[in-house]
Structure 1
Amino acid sequence: MLSAVAARKARLAQNQGQPAPQGTSKPASAPSPPASEPAPRKNSTPAKPTSSAQKPPSKRKPSAPAINPPKQKKPKSQHRKGAQEHSGRYFAQQDVFKAQDDVIVVDNDDNESSVATSSASSGDELPPTRTGGKRAWSPSAPLADSSDEDEDDEADEHVSLDVPQPHVPSSADAPKVLSTFQPAPDQNVFRLPSLGSSSQPKRTVLLLKASETVALLGVYSLTVLRGAVSFAGVSLRASTTAYPVFSPRSSPLPVIQCLRSAPSQDSALPLPALAAHIAEAVSHCDAAIMLQEMHTGIEGLGRICRTFDGFFAPSRWHRNQLMFDLGLDGVYFLPFHTPDITPLITPPGWTVAADTAVPERHQRAAIERHVYLVKGPKNAGKSTFARLVLNRLLCKYRRVAYLECDLGQSEFAPGGMVSLNIVEQPIFGPPFSHPTIPFAAHYIGATSPRSSPSHYLDCIQALIQQYELDVQNAPLDDEQAEDEHGRIVSSIPLVVNTMGWTKGLGADIARKVEDIVGPTAVFSLAGAGIEDDPSYAVSAASTSGHGAPRVHVIESVPPSPGASHHTAADHRNIAILSYFHAVFPPEPPLSPYASPIATSWSTALPLCAQPPYEVDWQAALDKLVLTGAGMEDVVPEEVPTALNCAVVGLVSCQPGTLDTKAPADGPSSLRLPYEQGAAPPLPSVSRCVGLALVRAISPSPKTVLQLLTPVPPHLLDPARVLVMGELQLPVWGMLDYRTLDGGGDVAGYERGKVPYLRWGKGEGAGGERRRVRRNLMRKGQM
């Protein structure tokens, strides 16, 4: 019997053209017979030797060789070199298979058989190579569920050990040092005493040199006392304005950077409490900023939505680091970069494009209409750039209008509605930190216009008309052309943020939106598909009658590494929960063109424990509309069941424009004013004042509806129409997070008594838990 090691050495010697190793008389060491010679048969009579050197030709056709010729392999040195590189690159630990006696090497070819070699005899150390196909079935690994086949197939098509993966920007690409500012008490850091009582917010002054940066985590207000700083892509100069800042770990962190200023600039904010040496130090710095703590209660949203728990406090990466204490509650100084912190980096092309689009002072009289449209695919930084344009415009205009067309990731209003907001101060924070009562809005009831594209376009058309008629050149409360800060008050520009659906039907809807808006400048983020060509905006706007816009193609920004911890659904959940727990000013604003922004958040009680409004639908409601996919099939008898724990839009209509039926007599008069298959009110004669949550519906014969809404009372009287869509309250909002250990007086609900949630088995077909058998093998696994 041939030795496997000897046969392998003989084949290598034959392939390299070297003589076979000598020193053995065994037939096993001889090279294998060529394919032209007949293979010896078992139990056959050996041929007699002849005196001639050559065998006489045989008339019998030679039989096929018993052993197939082996496949020619790479030389031992090259194979060993590639194996070593492969092992050193992907296996950091010592291979456990090397310690075994036998190693089985499986080639990638399906037709080739495996070759068993003895590593102890040959001295070759070949690590096991990974095949290109799927891994064979193993009894130690559970089988995949049939519902996951599509995801597994998609993942297997892109997995390869030898092909380098594309570079994805990570936390290593960002600067390691976030704060170059070196704090020194009583030298460049001064804590100001409280004004009056100890309950007043604490204040701290920082003196910065040119190009120094400061990264802060938490909730605070920023006031520039001297010089100028760059913050979130906006230049802030010395003024008495205090800018509220919300800087959580769930969003990119804005960094304060000192700009070089003239030494002759004096403090813009008088500070009588400063001592002489502090005033002397302020006069020698390039910029002086004052930080003041803010107690808004927004940190309590982390108790409600657990995926954002502790998002305004340092994580474990910073807890063990030596950090400087600023003396402000809820404000943390971050000197170094950590994997859970992503700084907000504005590309230079964004700043250049935003400055180019904003007209100069001598050009503002010639151009009366300023509409800036931002478009691009999802996850390209569209909302961040739209916020940058908004903040830069607020440095030159007293008020700026913002039209939100993205139903899923809205900036000021909760998802599911298109809104027109009037903003008066820059926004520094994620969308959930500034919920707003919009100037005008329309409720769609879904996170995408897929089910009602015509109604979506009609709502945008109505908002554009309202902006052109009532907002663009609205008479303000003062007749001056500029305010005390030199900002224009005679006109209000418009920023339009579009959705990220740019393929198929989404591309057609986006083009219709551009036709309706008629922008004067279009910012197209690179990465859009062919269907969303930026050059289309030129021809579209020229046909709309507003003239050809200036098209700026800018680079897109990939999602931050921290975005993987929170999905788009998580941000929608925190946004709608922030809206329902927000506290808005109870009185109407002084200016009719201002959109009230939430000043604080009430998170002491969950939604299930807050006192609701009790509404008699016979006296207070004129109509109930169900919109969305499948809503036209809901019969009137099932409306109370569908309306329980539903998110509805509060809509007010102009008098005489609502088509309602006369109330019926008898038992049918106790039903809700619902008409099956009815369309929502026309956007041209209606507006949505906000959202509400249907907490409960009293059983018949009562006609009481319990609603929870943060909308101020003076806006609820004209809202006599309820519109229910596809949006639902997140599960986090249904839970009661109060416990006795947390200091509350009332314990939370028991698990089986949580409203609108069913624990355990369900009822009806498909209500039970699905059972999956994992002990069956497919044909390819046998």
Structure 2
Amino acid sequence: MKRKAEKQQAASSAPVSAFAARKARRQKFQAAVAVAIPVQTELVQEPPSKKARRTPEAAVPTPPFGGETNTRTTRSSKRKTESLKASGTTERKQTTSSAEPSEQLPVRSLPREPENQPSEAEETEEQSPIVGENDVGITPARDDTDGYESPADTAGPVQEFPLSKTRLNKNNIVYSDEHTLCVRIKEKMSIVLLGHYDLWVKRGVVSVMGAKLHPSPRLYRVYAPSTHSLPVIKCVSGVDGAAEIEVKSCHSGIYRLRGLSPLYRRIWNGKNTSADKITLKNAPSSAKRTFSVLYTSADDSLKRHLRPLHLEKQWSSAIKSLSQRGGRLKALICGPKASGKSTFSRYLLNHLLSPAPQTETNYCNTDGVAFLDLDPGQPEFSPMGQISLAHIRSPVFGPPFSHPSLHSSQEGTIIRSHHIGATSPKEDPDHYVLATMDLMDRYRALLASYPQCPLIINYPGWIFGLGLEVATWLIRSLGLSDVVYMSEKGPTEVVVPLSQAAEEAMTPLTILPSQPTDFVSRSSAQLRSMQMQSYFHMTRPTEISNPLWLEKPISRTKPFHVHYAGPKQGIRGIMVMGSQIDPDLLREVLEGAIVAVVAVESPKAILGQNEGPSLSNRHSNDDADANMEDSTDTRMEGITSHDPLNPFIDANVARTPNENLPHLFVGSGSSNPLDPKASRCLGLALVRCIDVSSQRLELVTPIAGSAIRDALEQGHGIVLVRGQLDNPNWAISEDYYAARTEERRHRESIEKLKKNETTSDNEHGVLPAEQEVRVSAMLRDRIRRVSKVPWMTVIEDNSSQQREAVQREKSLWKLRKKAYPGSDSEGDW
């Protein structure tokens, strides 16, 4: 016993590492909090790391609990007490920590709104009559698929964060009305707007999201929702020391999506701010633009955590340095998750597309920029599950869900894309590498027409393990000019292999600090849902250049009827990526799922997969494949889609016994994907129904009919590929939210008529009582019918469950990075 005590005393007096000491202090702190705070309360997340101007109430110190309890415990308790009083959930019991991963269930729980719930003016957004959206239906998941982010337990008090440096007054307001605002911005001053608008630079030079915009007759569409950091319009140089810009309201219809999903609610501008009221003095009292000028985040009527989009100085220097390479630039942007890779890539893209000949250098970009997006989880110009090569001709001002696809020659086009079938390339890295190399070959072919077209490669956050091996292999084989790594914290086991690969390829490696956002209002899974919903509801009329969004639910959209059997067969086969399934289950797997519409260009797409793709033997049969492809192209000339691919596809197709569906399966155990060299993805489609009697599929897709016709005229076969993407729960609940929106509009119109009732109403007449009751009953019946759908449950009880759902919907998401073992970010777990 004495020897054991001596050993323990010696161990306690020995020096410990910083990580062990930090862990011991954290355990001691948690033990102190457990004693001081009752069991019923919840643990509080860390406040934002960014410094902000606090309100006077938040700055008043509170006395400590007593004893040796530190100040951190005191502040944590105060914030928790205030939030509990505000939310009214003091009786809620402690659950598991929000940082722990939890499995998402397929059942959606939608609390029903009471029939006579009053609307709140603070919830008003834009010019739509929809107000008071408190029937929150989609509950945020407790974590993302990779466990890298979790919702904060409470939003905490809203802090006043400075946004605009310019204060509007009669000296800098040129003119204004209910739709337009023209202002002067002095040099090195800035202005921040929330909403969506068209920007016209009249005088001087301004910078927006990395782009330097010079005076021109062109209008730039800007989307600035609260889900992302707000873009800053800054004067770079001006005439007489000031630039002049005009901001005009635009009606793209993207705000209408809030009638179909709560994820799109509370993301645009709310009530008119103090700056808006100054510029709307001569306008009607009901005037409201699609944008609002904000001096600080406290000006927001919806009390959201708004932040401006500013760059680190090292980021700005790196962007200027990379831009000087001009058409010789071929940069790979990589780094851990949530490190700012997409933001940096977007800034670099805009900077390359914006400089004029008379500024900085003599380089003038007339060939556009090639953007190789290798992130299937959060792509920039395509829906999830795809990697693509895009040719961009104009700066992009907005988050990915504002441009989920490209079909305009003025903005840019998708040169080629491939369906990965998952949000992470780790499911099939060999197919991922093959698709990447095919897109690089397409970029080299693009250089023949646009020799001064630079290349930006956005690599996903899959940077550890096999992802690191793929990244280093790409650095050695793509012939890059630069590699940018977005983290100064390492880890060493990632930076060293990247440095060695870059040194072997004689490519400079630039390491930049990460710039993540501490708190966001949407998780990665929710942003993917928003992008998918935007993709299926977006349309591009030929007479206008900007896209439009339609409010019609997917169930009411006219589908495409495609035969999958018989003499008019249009779908040659249906593939299911992943593990092999029983053919009897193909209908259950396909109905209500998101599928990729893939054009098979040659028999090599199927026959070339028998050996299986491999990183080691990728170039072993290049000559044979090239000869085979040349002979196939010769046979395809002048032949319709009924020849010659059908024999090769039909040889691998097995018909299901009950529905006669063409199940295309190649491989053993799992289905081998199509060869990217001989196939391409046209887009995504939602399988709404399988009509066995007529042997047809009902598909809802935004793919242009001309794209499908062109593929068929070139002799390509159409194959549907079912991957492992997120379930389209947003499509299932659209009818319910659309019905709730119609009922709310009807209720508000009745209340408006009653308020405006005067003696003259007897002549014109208001809505008869019988008709009002009949319409209300019809709307309630519609809500009742659409709430009875699979995978969705409407909660009739409007008590604690709905209050908890509302609180979760208003919560913020805190990004946390597991950078490397022993790092501070992992210690937070």
Please give the range of the TM-score, normalised by the shorter of the 2 chains: 0.5 to 0.7
- Secondary structure of residue in 1 paired with 2:425: coil
Which region of structure 1 is more displaced relative to structure 2, 677-686 or 243-252?
677-686
1:381–1:175 Cα change, 3 Å:
farther
Match in the other structure for 1:497: 458
- State which of 449, 468, 472 in structure 1 corresponds to 2:447: 472
Which residue does the alignment assign to 1:374? 333
Aligned equivalents of 1:228, 1:431: Cα separation in 2: 26
Which residue does 2:350 correspond to in 1?
391
Secondary structure at 2:345 match in 1: helix
Give the superposition deviation at 1:661.
2.4
Equivalent in the alignment of 2:699: 707
The one-letter code sitting in structure 1 at the alignment partner of 2:458 is N
For normalisation by structure 2, the TM-score amounts to 0.60
C-alpha distance 688-225 of structure 1, shift in aligned 2 (>3 A): same
Measure the CA separation in 2 of the matches of 1:759 and 1:750: 11
| Alpha-carbon distance between aligned partners in 2 of 1:695 and 1:440, rounded to the nearest angstrom | 26
Out of 161, 179, 186, the position equivalent to 2:164 is 179
1:151 Cα offset (Å): 7.5
Counterpart amino acid of 1:453?
Answer: P
| 1:550 lines up with 2:511 in the alignment | no
Aligned residue for 1:518?
A: 479
How has the CA–CA distance of structure 1 residues 578 and 729 changed in structure 2, closer, same or farther, with 3 Å as cutoff?
farther
Tell me the number of residue pairs that the alignment of Structure 1 and Structure 2 aligns: 550
Distance 2:487 2:654 in 1: 61
Structure 1 residues 286, 624: CA separation in 2 closer, same or farther (over 3 Å shift)? same
| Structure 1 contact 203–290 (Cα < 8 Å) conserved | yes
- Residue 245 of structure 1 aligns with which residue? 222
Q: Which aligned pairs between 1:594-605 and structure 2 lie closer than 5 A?
A: 599-603=547-551, 605=552
Partner Cα distance (1:666, 1:505) in 2: 37
| Aligned CA distance change for structure 1 residues 666 and 331 (closer, same or farther; 3 Å) | closer
The aligned amino acid for 1:540 is A
Q: Deviations over 1:322-375 (max 9, x none)?
A: 854467621111112335111001111111111112236xxx6xxx64211111
Q: State the match for 2:16 in structure 1.
A: none
Verify the 8 A CA contact 2:386 2:418 in the aligned structure 1. yes
Contact persistence 1:191–1:205 (CA under 8 A)? yes
- Show the counterpart of 2:563: 616
Q: Are the aligned partners of 1:217 and 1:333 in contact in 2 as well (CA < 8 Å)? A: yes
Q: 2-side partners of 1:602 and 1:371: how far apart?
A: 38
Could you give the per-residue CA deviations for residues 265-295 of structure 1, whole angstroms, max 9, x where no partner exists?
xxxxxxxxxxxxxxxxxxx562111112211
CA distance in 2, matches of 1:450, 1:436: 24
Counterparts in 2 of 1:142 and 1:650: CA distance versus 1, 3 Å: closer
Aligned amino acid, residue 711 of structure 1: I
Letter in 2 for 1:660: I
Q: 2:313 aligns with which of 348, 364, 369?
A: 348
Aligned twin of 2:409: none
CA 1:582–1:129 in structure 2 vs 1: closer, same or farther (change >3 Å)?
Answer: same
Matched residue of 2:649: which SS? coil
What's the CA shift for 1:202?
3.7
Contact kept, 8 Å, 1:253 with 1:344, in 2: the verdict is yes
The question of 1:190 aligning with 2:174 is answered: yes
Query: Is there any run of 5+ residues in structure 2 with no aligned partner, and where?
Result: 1-27, 39-63, 74-89, 103-154, 281-286, 299-303, 355-363, 407-413, 607-647, 712-716, 747-774, 796-829
Task: Tell me if 1:450 matches 2:426.
Answer: yes
> SS of the counterpart of 2:268?
coil
CA, structure 1 residues 235+756, in 2 after alignment: closer, same or farther (shift >3 Å)? Answer: same
* Residue pair 1:95, 1:127 contacting (<8 A) in 2 also: no
- Of the candidates 719, 724, 727, which is equivalent to residue 725 of structure 2? 727
Q: Residue 702 of structure 1: CA displacement?
A: 2.7
Name the CA distance, whole Å, in 1 between partners of 2:160 and 2:188. 14
Contact 1:696-1:707 at 8 Å conserved across structures: yes
CA contact (8 A) 1:292 1:328 kept: no
In structure 2, the CA distance between the partners of 1:385 and 1:666, relative to structure 1 (3 Å rule), is closer
| More helix as a share of residues | 2
Aligned 1:573-592 pairs, distance under 5 A: 573-585=529-541
In the alignment, is residue 332 of structure 1 matched against residue 292 of structure 2?
A: yes
- Matching residue of 2:672: 679
Per the alignment, residue 693 of structure 1 pairs with: 686
Note if contact 2:422-2:725 (Cα within 8 Å) is conserved in structure 1.
yes
1:680 counterpart SS class: coil
CA distance in 1, matches of 2:656, 2:700: 28
Q: Which amino acid aligns with 2:391?
A: I
Q: CA deviation at 1:191?
A: 3.5
Q: How does 1:24-35 map to 2 (within 5 A)?
A: none
Cα distance between partner residues in 1 of 2:276 and 2:308: 20
Secondary structure at the residue paired with 2:259?
helix
Q: Which blocks of at least 5 consecutive residues in structure 1 are unaligned?
A: 1-85, 97-124, 133-139, 153-169, 194-200, 264-283, 476-489, 588-595, 762-782
Percent of pairs with identical residues: 27
Question: Is the Cα contact below 8 Å between 1:436 and 1:597 reproduced in 2?
Answer: no
Is residue 2:175 matched to residue 1:208? no
In structure 2, the residue matched to 1:359 is 324
Q: Tell me, yes or no, if the aligned pair for 1:207 and 1:285 is still in contact at 8 Å.
A: no
Q: Which residue identity lines up with residue 426 of structure 1 in the other structure?
A: P
Q: CA deviation at 1:143?
A: 8.7
Identify the match of residue 237 of structure 2 among 260, 265, 272: 260
CA distances 1:216-263 after superposition (whole Å, capped 9, x unpaired):
1111111111111122233222222211100011100011112233x4
The residue aligned with 1:17 is: none
C-alpha separation between the residues in 2 aligned to 1:576 and 1:549?
37
1:462 is aligned to 2:438: yes
Task: Give 3-state SS (helix, strand or coil) of 2:197's partner.
Answer: strand
The answer as to whether partners of 1:538 and 1:548 remain within 8 angstroms in 2 is no
- Kindly provide the amino acid, as one letter, of the partner of residue 617 in structure 1: Y
Kindly tell me: are residues 461 and 749 of structure 1, through their superposed partners in 2, closer, same or farther at Cα, counting changes over 3 Å? farther
User: Relative to 1, partners in 2 of residues 1:597 and 1:390: Cα closer, same or farther, differing over 3 Å?
Assistant: farther
Q: Distance in 2 between matches of 1:286 and 1:150?
A: 51
CA spacing shift, 1:585–1:95, aligned 2, 3 Å: closer
Matched, 1:309 2:309: no
Q: CA–CA distance in 2 between the matches of 1:720 and 1:251?
A: 37
1:522, 1:531 → 2: CA distance?
Answer: 16
The CA deviation at 1:548 is: 1.5
Pick 1 or 2: higher relative contact order, CA cutoff 8 A, min separation 6: 2
How far is 1:509 from its partner?
Answer: 2.6
Q: Contact 1:625/1:723 (CA < 8 Å) preserved in 2? A: yes
1-structure distance, mates of 2:217, 2:501:
44
3-state DSSP of counterpart to 2:396: coil
Q: Match of 2:784, as an amino acid?
A: E
2:417 corresponds to: 441
Structure with the greater alpha carbon radius of gyration: 1
Q: Do 1:371 and 1:494's aligned partners in 2 also have CA atoms closer than 8 Å?
A: yes
Task: Render the CA deviation track for 1:596-631: whole Å, top value 9, x for unaligned.
Answer: 99611112x111221111111121011211113x3x
| Counterparts of 2:338 and 2:498, CA distance in 1 | 21
Asked whether the 8 Å contact 1:299–1:310 carries over to 2, the reply is no
Give 3-state SS (helix, strand or coil) of 1:439's partner. strand
Evaluate the alpha carbon distance shift between residue 321 and residue 663 of structure 1 in structure 2; reply closer, same or farther with a 3 A threshold. Answer: closer
Shift of the alpha carbon at 1:192? Answer: 6.5
- Structure 1 residues 303 and 409, CA gap change in structure 2 (3 angstroms): same
In structure 2, do the counterparts of structure 1 residues 335 and 452 end up closer, same or farther at CA, with 3 Å as the change threshold?
A: same
- Note the C-alpha offset of 1:204: 2.8
Partner residue in 2 for 1:119? none
C-alpha contact (below 8 Å) 2:463/2:494 kept by paired residues: no
Gap change, CA 1:506 and 1:655, over 3 Å in 2? closer
What's the CA shift for 1:574? 0.6
